[in-house]
Structure 1
Amino acid sequence: MSVDRNTPELKAWYAVLDDQSYRLESPDAYHQALVSLAQALLDDGAIEWDDWLALKAMADEANTHAIEAAVEAKVDDPDT
């Protein structure tokens, strides 16, 4: 499930979601930024509760992938 990327209010959220370097460098900060932005959109009335849940699910999934990638990178090269 996804929320329409073409909505002007959501462009900033999707820009963060698509930021691969931010995701890999700091998965926790990346996830928190996505959740905070989604909450701000909900608070401002730009999205509804179901949209917030969809954004949160996408943020959670991206965070899971980022953590898996970080662990894999560490296993591949423990000195980094």
Structure 2
Amino acid sequence: MSIERSIPELEAWYAQYDDHSYRDASPDAYHQALIRTAEALRDDGAIDWDDWLALKGLADQAQLHALQDAVQAHVNDPDT
């Protein structure tokens, strides 16, 4: 399931999602911010449960990729 980016209520969520510098700098905080924003959208009735699950899935995958990238960067250059 893909949630349409053009829905006004989702603009803030996708702005956070697209913030790769935040994701790379702090994958856990990035993930928590995405989850909190999605929960607020769900609680306000802007999205339903299935949409929330889809957003959570996107957030989970983005966090996983950021963690994998961080590990690989450390493997490539352990002094940084």
Which TM class, normalised by the smaller chain length?
over 0.9
2:68 matches 1:64: no
* Equivalent AA in structure 1 for residue 33 of structure 2: A
For 2:78, what is the secondary structure of its paired residue? coil
1:73 aligns with 2:73: yes
| Separation in 1, partners of 2:20, 2:51 | 23
Residue 2 of structure 1 deviates from its aligned partner by 1.8
Deviation at 1:71, TM superposition (A): 0.3
1:36-56 residue CA offsets vs partner (Å, 9 max, x unmatched):
000000000000000000000
With normalisation by structure 2, the TM-score equals 0.97
Counterparts of 2:75 and 2:58, CA distance in 1: 26
Aligned-residue Cα RMSD (Å) equals: 0.6
Question: Identity over the aligned pairs, expressed in percent?
Answer: 66
Partner of 1:38: 38
Deviations 1:20-66 (A, max 9, x none): 10010000000000000000000000000000000000000000000
Give ranges in structure 1 of 5+ residues lacking alignment. none
CA distance in 2, matches of 1:2, 1:66: 21
Q: TM-score, normalised by structure 1?
A: 0.97
In structure 2, the gaps of 5 or more residues are none
Residues 1:12 and 2:7 are matched in the alignment: no
Q: Structure 1 runs of 4+ off > 2 angstroms?
A: none
**Whole-Å separation in 2 of the counterparts to 1:74 and 1:12:** 31
